[in-house]
Structure 1
């Protein structure tokens, strides 16, 4: 389960031995450029580079938690802990992850709930202030790239490299024929313009996705393609990708509704002519002094024709409104064809009848691609390339304080069941037990550490895209 393993973690004895070997070879560990979203991690060996007293004092008896979005796993765990009874007061905020981490590094919050690890540039602020981040995993999620269900774009599988080319700034990708494997494109699907939509760049989902795909956990608008359509809510992304059932049904019968409206229009015109004829016959009957019985028949024919006009008028008006709505719906449906949306795994599962997810190629092999379908299984075992961890980040010193330690222990004990209930990927027993051992003081926790070269590289990239 490579995806769920703590990246860059070595037992202390092995780490010390490795440091000795590297020093003997003349290699500077500080200049190494660790890979993976969590950066380099050393088990309890980092030293603060600034005095902790540079930070404001923590409010007594209070736990400040930031980055908690409504409905998230962290929100569920917080609610359960508070309902169970606690003397600690919680100050919970839902700031975007980047701002939450900035507050964390300057002592403004105690715990950050996030979908992406702390970035090298923000970590440098922590380092200057003597904050030693420990990131506690409470579950996993996955980013899903999906089109509208029953849409044929000629491609079912794309690579991480394809995703990068699709999302990056100055993307050259405008057609589905430019990406993917085993193209089965028809003339119609090949002509579909590839459009892209998803959450705001500052969202946790985009941060985690960007870390994996674009190589930067702090995405901005300038890092994304110029026509990227950003939405605050996933429900809006869903609508941008594909219409709802009612709109799709209306669009599917657009021609039928148009035909019905035209038929009613012809029937109304015919009925109006019949009224004209009947009126002429009534007048003619009076002029010709037809019998009373004949004049009554003429009057009845006129009444009948007028009643038909009165009936057809509203029916035509209603039919024309429906036909107009259907035409508009059809236009909307057609405009969304080929749109690729970025979703959380849990949201995708709720609306999988409306979405068709892309498989993601795991080996970057053109000759023998291994396309992985997103599922609970492939996200859990790490084989799905766009899965990511859900984290609670806490300062090492703060983690040892009783009220914070007790909350984190509760969160780990309840995380597996809570994640399963929210259609997320639960922790493995191994990760859960290791993190509980950190809290109990049985083993040193893994403190996040980025070497100076990695920080400088990230700051340079950030400067280029700001």
Structure 2
């Protein structure tokens, strides 16, 4: 990683080979946390082992609320059922927004017809009623070819699936079921890249890493076609598929030196590493606020356990500051 660290982390007080930080959850957030983990392990000279799994946001919260992990990667805020599950087991957590993502709709580079797709057209493709009925491009838009659409999307345990269906269909998890689903975004990348009629969705970073194999589609939510980019995410024009992404830290785990130092390292180096792995960083104050919340043990969420879309960066920061 070609990153200048914002101060080295002391390894005093870490219990040698037994020190481990366990993380699981979102495949979208994975590249950020994995980059942090890699550099933290180098910085602590192997004194701490950091494991980062991918079971989707939903799967990650299940493990987190059972007390099996210290941190969960989440591509959406915690939901009411997950809040209840954590409460039952006495798990308290600090919510930390770490970046913004542009959920990106992609097609094969040989697709010359759907450079722009409206939210209404996406809904027509993905809503439950489309299953077995909307099978050809021409059924979505008569100007498009009479060829079979091949769909690729996030699996049901994915926060990306939750967010996409909420934003496009109007209800989280409401989707047709006849598509290739995976928690591994690389599977979706390969699917669309190898199929002229492929269409899929996943986080911006996976598109950015595979620009030669994929083409991003401009999304028209009623105000013209907008391509995902740092500019359109920061100014709030890439809607409704621009979203905050998070880590949640078990407050009891954070009492262990290795977890505490990992979180400090994460927040001090997040801005550089977020950009390095093709996400959009938050203002510096956001990362400072996260550490203040950890210090003051400000637990809980500012999102109330319900799915939300159309969130701007400034709105997320304003809410977190008021926790």
Aligned to 1:377: 231
**Counterpart residue number, 2:314:** none
Say yes or no: does 1:387 pair with 2:242: yes
> Are residues 1:213 and 2:168 paired?
yes
Question: Could you say which residue in structure 1 is the equivalent of 2:205?
Answer: 346
Give the structure with the larger helix fraction.
Answer: 1
- In 2: Cα distance, 1:82 partner to 1:424 partner: 22
**Other-structure match for 1:126:** 86
Question: What is the deviation of 1:430?
Answer: 3.0
**Is the 1:64–1:91 contact (alpha carbons within 8 Å) kept by the matching residues of 2?**
yes
Kindly state the Cα deviation for residue 209 of structure 1 after the two structures are TM-superposed. 2.7
Map 1:317-336 → 2, pairs under 5 A: 336=195
* Aligned 1:453-464 pairs, distance under 5 A: none
Conserved 8 A contact 2:153-2:180: yes
Contact 1:64-1:110 at 8 Å conserved across structures: yes
Measured against aligned partners, the alpha-carbon deviations of 1:368-404 in whole angstroms (never above 9, x if no partner) come to x332111122233332121223321113444455443
For residues 151-172 of structure 1, the C-alpha deviation after alignment (integer angstroms, 9 at most, x for no partner) is 233561311x433332222215
Which residue pairs with 1:4 in the alignment?
Answer: none
Higher strand share: 2
Counterpart of 2:313 in structure 1 is none
Partner of 1:163: 122
Structure 1 unpaired stretches of 5+: 1-59, 244-335, 456-466
1:79 lines up with 2:30 in the alignment: no
Matched, 1:447 2:300: yes
What are the superposed Cα offsets for residues 42-101 of structure 1, whole Å, 9 maximum, x if unpaired?
Answer: xxxxxxxxxxxxxxxxxx954332237596110111121122117555454433332321
Look at both structures and tell me which one has the larger radius of gyration over its CA atoms.
1
**CA apart distance, 1:413:** 0.9
Report if the CA contact (8 A) 1:420-1:426 is conserved: yes
User: Of the candidates 176, 189, 200, which is equivalent to residue 225 of structure 1?
Assistant: 176
Change beyond 3 A, Cα 1:201–1:97: same
Contact map agreement 1:400 1:439 (CA 8 A) in 2 = no
Contact 2:109 2:196 in 1 (8 A): no
Seen in structure 2, the aligned counterparts of structure 1 residues 154 and 344 have a Cα distance that, compared at 3 Å, is: closer
CA distance in 2, matches of 1:404, 1:383: 37
The structure-2 alpha-carbon separation of the partners of 1:339 and 1:351, relative to structure 1 and needing over 3 Å to count, comes to: same
Q: Does 1:65 align with 2:23?
A: yes
Question: Are 1:158 and 1:358, in contact at CA under 8 Å, matched by a contact in 2?
Answer: no
Q: Which residue of 2 aligns with 1:97?
A: 57
Over aligned residues, Cα RMSD in angstroms?
A: 3.2
2:98 corresponds to 1:138: yes
1:204 to 1:89, Cα distance in 2 relative to 1, 3 A: same
Instruction: Give the secondary structure class of the aligned counterpart of 1:72.
Output: helix
Distance 1:138 1:163 in 2: 28
Deviation per residue, 1:218-253 (Å, 9 max, x gap): x4xxx432421224644443443344xxxxxxxxxx
Aligned to 2:310: none
- Change beyond 3 A, Cα 1:432–1:382: farther
TM-score (norm 1): 0.53
8 Å CA contact 1:103, 1:109 repeated in 2: yes
Q: 1:131 to 1:164 in 2, by over 3 A?
A: farther
Partner of 1:358: 217
Runs of 5+ consecutive residues of structure 2 not aligned to the other structure:
1-17, 308-323
Distance 1:238-1:108 versus aligned 2 partners, 3 A rule: closer
CA contact (8 A) 2:59 2:157 kept: no
- Give the direction of change, closer, same or farther, for the CA distance of 1:387–1:449 in structure 2 (3 Å limit): closer
Structure 2 CA distance for partners of 1:135 and 1:179, relative to 1, 3 Å: farther
- CA shift in 2, pair 1:88/1:154, >3 Å: closer
